[in-house]
Structure 1
Amino acid sequence: MLRAFGFALVAIIVLALVWYVATLPGHVTIDFGHYAATASTPIAILLLAIVVFVGVLIVGIIRALLRSPARLARRRMITRRNNADAASLRALSAMAAGDDRTAGNHARIARQYAPDAPLTLYVAGESARRAGDHEAADAHFAALAQHRDAGFLGWRGLVHHRTQLSGNAAALAEAEAQARQAATAYPNSVWLRDQRVQLALSQSNFADAARLATDKPARAALAIMASRTATSGPLAIDWARDAVRSAPNLAPAYLALYAAHERAGHLWRAQRALVAGWKAAPHPDLATAYLSTIKLPLDRARAAQKLANANPGHPESEALLAQTARAADLAGEAQRHAAKANGVAGARWVCAACETVHPEWQASCRKCGTIGSLAWITPPPDPTTTALLPAPLPAD
């Protein structure tokens, strides 16, 4: 309804203008040298409007002709880019399906249409990496790294490619430098931070790896290694304290603090670190360090009692007292404490990610590579063994 009203209003205004022009009096005369043209005022206005319209039309046609090459080139570029994107997507699909040969063919087609497009550079670099063409992969990823919006993809490709060259120290050093540059392109990347941790760990640069780690178990494990490899005593102590703060229930952290203090000549603080560790996370290695300077069996039993007092009744404390009492020929004490140890002798370092058993603690699992995943675990009692135990005597 409103549209019809508007159209009618416009039509009335146009008709009124036409009527007004048609009723204008007078004539218009134009002289061309010896020639003269005379027309009424309405006819002259109509002719002028026609001349203006034709002039505008001619100018528009000329501008369209001048712009047509650029428009055709732009349309051709858009078509080529669309074809390149389609080929790149087919290449990505082939990679996801594990068909590297088909992916390489589609990547070549994409390069024919748009060799500098970000998506083309990525699939070309990835397909070259999968095919083992390291120079081509580096060239494509390096070109992609210079792109303003997709530069991080190029840096990621370079870092990933370098880390795949296992055993190549020069490639790992280059990957670390490229990872730093990638951090400027995308500083909050979780993948990049984890990758930098792995790169630092692969080069035994535990301090840098610990600084980058955000997961507390991983940071604790790396801090322990940083303390062990520190170049100075105070630095070793700082890293060991960082490990204790990150994982207060991890015995190797206290052992690292003990070793750092002993290295610095702080013997009393070293012993205190072992007692604190036994209180938080009893472990046979803590007891071994605590009793390392005591030779006589009876003296060792007495010292073990002092250490066990930090965590009385714990199965590890009972196992320690039983062991030292047995060595000191205190058979009654050894039997009494052994009965309370609750099978703690079967405890092992086990990876929480893949359940791989390790003979000793290490920063990362030797099987799955997870950092800080090892935990001191006592296996549950074997039900078959429990069934064979004699039944308790009835009370009188």
Structure 2
Amino acid sequence: MLRALYIFLVIAALSVLAIWLADNPGDLVLHWRGYEVRTSFVVGLGLMVLVAFLVLFIYRVTAGFLRSPAGLSSFLDMRRRRRGYLALSRGMVAVAAGDAGEARRFAGRAQRLLDGTPLTLLLAAQAAQLEGKEDAASEYFEAMLASPETAFLGLRGLFVQARRAGDRDRALELARRAFSHRPKTLWAAQAVFEIETSQEDWDSALQTLDRMLSAKLISRDAARRRRAVLLTAQALTAEEAARGQFGPAREGAREKALSLALKAVSLMPDFVPAVALAARLCGETGRVRRGAKLIEDLWARTPHPDLADAYMNLVAGESAYDRCKRVRLLVGRNRNHIESRVALARAAIGARDWLTARGALEPLTAGQVEEAPTQRICELMAEIEEGEHGNRGSAREWLARALHAPEDAAWTGEGYRSRRWSAINPVTGEFDALEWKAPGLRLPSLVAAPAPEAAPETTPPATPEQPLSPVPQAAASAAAVAQAPAGRMTEGPEALAFPPLLPDDPGPLTDDAEEEGEPKW
């Protein structure tokens, strides 16, 4: 509607102008070289407009003729680039489809038509990768580094090549360059962090973690957990280094390890490896009360065998009776938990308090329990039977029962199980990947223990740290524990999960436990 109105207004304006010119025709006179040209104003204006159009037409024709070679060249170049980008698109589709031959053919065509456009280098590199030509792919990725637009993509391609070749040093160098080039890129930051942790370079990993947190590539909660794990790993390294030193150097290394462990505990108070390590170092540096408090506070929330081990060995040279007395105080904070009963049974066996040990394990071995006793409980019951009554037959029955008992929980990762915690999975190199858990399979309770010769002769595959199923060696392990010195665990992957401490000073058999409000089973 508005457009029609606009056209009507234009026509009306032209009509008014024509009527006005008709009412005022006027004369247009031109004198030139003795000639006089006389005409009306309207005709003269029309002739001038016609001449102007003719001049403009001649100019356009002349300019187009002069530009025709460049125009033809531009047309051909545009057509060439169109064909090049079409070949590039088809090559990318071939790469996605895994057709190496088509990808190589279209990559060559795109390079010829587009004169080495950076994207053609990427297509050529991917085509070479599909054909298994790693050296050629690396050359293309190296060529991409020369262009600012594709330098980062070239670094990623070279990083993938180095990772496939297993060259960690080269991969780390490229990942660091990529991370420095674009600090807010997650894959580069994660690659640097993972390689540094797999190489146990904890200091560099902490610096990388700080940069990731500054770039907001990781949440604060995740960063707090990673920092706690890294500090715990640093403390373990410092503790191992202290064992090879003497005098003030050893004390200094222990203090450093303790400081790192306490920092980890402050970040994650419920992180069992950090608490157990900090408590153990507190005992070694004479801070027994502080170490005991760390374990007791966490035991009330999350009892764990590592905490029990650290608590039992907290006081150097302690008698078995005093150790059992302290353990009673610990398990009183969470007395109905299975780990509390196992810890008390271990301490009571060391103190030769067979009644307490048997009473602690009785709820776990009774016939009405939902799950069969695990391997360590069967082994502890074998110790009790032989130690209390000298009944080797009953002890052998319990050891035979351990052959078919469910496995106990352990630090478990992909292809790896161990009683010791590690910041990385030694098999895969994955950071913070170990979980404390038992195998999902649960065997039913046995009505009667089978004869030893009926035990299976094959075992599951073993990991570098410990076999996935140490059951076939349970009897030999128990015998080795019985002959070991007091307070020491047997060496080797087939050691008992929680070997009982042998007695050194049972102490008087009194009722002090009841007077101090300690649990008595």
Code of the aligned partner of 1:299: D
Q: Deviations over 1:345-383 (max 9, x none)?
A: 4112233xx586445322234556543232212456836
- Which residue is equivalent to 1:348? 410
Tell me how far apart the structure 2 counterparts of residues 341 and 100 of structure 1 sit (CA, whole Å).
Answer: 62
Tell me how far apart the structure 1 counterparts of residues 334 and 68 of structure 2 sit (CA, whole Å).
Answer: 88
* TM-score with structure 1 setting the length: 0.78
Alignment of 1:243-262 (within 5 A): 243-244=264-265, 247-258=268-279
Say if 1:84 and 1:164 are closer, same or farther in 2 by CA, change over 3 A: farther
* CA shift for structure 1 position 155: 3.8
Q: 1:372 aligns with which of 410, 432, 439?
A: 432
* CA shift for structure 1 position 276: 4.1
Code of the aligned partner of 1:227: A
* CA shift for structure 1 position 45: 1.1
* CA shift for structure 1 position 280: 4.3
Q: Which SS does the other structure have where 1:298 is aligned?
A: helix
1:224 pairs with 2:232: yes
**Structure with higher helix content:** 1
Structure 1, 113-122 or 61-70: larger mean CA deviation? 61-70
* CA shift for structure 1 position 315: 1.3
1:105 pairs with 2:105: yes
Tell me how far apart the structure 1 counterparts of residues 3 and 18 of structure 2 sit (CA, whole Å).
Answer: 23
Q: 1:194 aligns with which of 190, 197, 203?
A: 190
Q: 2:306 aligns with which of 272, 285, 295?
A: 285
- Which residue is equivalent to 2:142? 139
Code of the aligned partner of 2:46: L
Say if 1:112 and 1:366 are closer, same or farther in 2 by CA, change over 3 A: farther
Aligned sequence identity (%): 25
Alignment of 1:28-177 (within 5 A): 28-31=29-32, 33=33, 35-64=35-64, 75-129=75-129, 131-133=133-135, 135-144=138-147, 146-147=148-149, 152-169=152-169, 171-177=170-176
Q: Which SS does the other structure have where 2:270 is aligned?
A: coil
Tell me how far apart the structure 2 counterparts of residues 166 and 358 of structure 1 sit (CA, whole Å).
Answer: 26
Q: Which SS does the other structure have where 1:350 is aligned?
A: strand
Q: Which SS does the other structure have where 1:363 is aligned?
A: coil
Tell me how far apart the structure 2 counterparts of residues 274 and 367 of structure 1 sit (CA, whole Å).
Answer: 30
1:298 pairs with 2:321: yes
- Which residue is equivalent to 1:317? 340
Q: 1:207 touches 1:223 (CA, 8 Å); kept in 2?
A: no
Say if 1:326 and 1:229 are closer, same or farther in 2 by CA, change over 3 A: closer
Code of the aligned partner of 1:347: A
Code of the aligned partner of 1:223: L
- Which residue is equivalent to 2:12? 12
Q: 1:125 touches 1:139 (CA, 8 Å); kept in 2?
A: no
Say if 1:256 and 1:68 are closer, same or farther in 2 by CA, change over 3 A: farther
* CA shift for structure 1 position 321: 0.9
Q: Which SS does the other structure have where 2:182 is aligned?
A: helix
Code of the aligned partner of 2:194: Q
Tell me how far apart the structure 2 counterparts of residues 366 and 124 of structure 1 sit (CA, whole Å).
Answer: 37
Q: 1:350 touches 1:357 (CA, 8 Å); kept in 2?
A: yes
Unaligned runs of 5+ in 2: 213-217, 242-252, 366-372, 377-407, 450-521
Q: 2:172 touches 2:191 (CA, 8 Å); kept in 1?
A: no
Q: Deviations over 1:88-122 (max 9, x none)?
A: 33333333333344333332322222245443333
Code of the aligned partner of 2:307: L
Say if 1:372 and 1:304 are closer, same or farther in 2 by CA, change over 3 A: same
Say if 1:159 and 1:35 are closer, same or farther in 2 by CA, change over 3 A: farther
Q: 2:84 touches 2:113 (CA, 8 Å); kept in 1?
A: yes
Q: How many residues are aligned here?
A: 379
Q: 1:382 aligns with which of 423, 430, 442?
A: 442
Q: Which SS does the other structure have where 2:445 is aligned?
A: helix
- Which residue is equivalent to 1:392? none
Q: CA RMSD in A?
A: 3.7
Taking CA–CA contacts closer than 8 Å with sequence separation of 6 or more, which of the two structures ends up with the larger relative contact order?
A: 2
* CA shift for structure 1 position 313: 2.7
Q: Deviations over 1:40-89 (max 9, x none)?
A: 32222111111222233334445555666665555555544443433333
Code of the aligned partner of 2:196: A
Q: 1:274 touches 1:290 (CA, 8 Å); kept in 2?
A: yes
1:362 pairs with 2:436: no
Unaligned runs of 5+ in 1: 390-396
Tell me how far apart the structure 2 counterparts of residues 141 and 337 of structure 1 sit (CA, whole Å).
Answer: 69
Q: 2:84 touches 2:109 (CA, 8 Å); kept in 1?
A: yes
Tell me how far apart the structure 1 counterparts of residues 232 and 79 of structure 2 sit (CA, whole Å).
Answer: 58
Tell me how far apart the structure 2 counterparts of residues 378 and 328 of structure 1 sit (CA, whole Å).
Answer: 29
Code of the aligned partner of 2:444: T
Tell me how far apart the structure 2 counterparts of residues 309 and 162 of structure 1 sit (CA, whole Å).
Answer: 55
* CA shift for structure 1 position 323: 1.3
* CA shift for structure 1 position 333: 0.6
Tell me how far apart the structure 2 counterparts of residues 102 and 178 of structure 1 sit (CA, whole Å).
Answer: 33
Code of the aligned partner of 1:228: L
Tell me how far apart the structure 2 counterparts of residues 63 and 262 of structure 1 sit (CA, whole Å).
Answer: 96
* CA shift for structure 1 position 197: 1.5
Tell me how far apart the structure 1 counterparts of residues 437 and 129 of structure 2 sit (CA, whole Å).
Answer: 42
Q: Which SS does the other structure have where 2:145 is aligned?
A: helix
Say if 1:205 and 1:366 are closer, same or farther in 2 by CA, change over 3 A: closer
Say if 1:129 and 1:48 are closer, same or farther in 2 by CA, change over 3 A: same
Structure 1, 46-55 or 335-344: larger mean CA deviation? 335-344
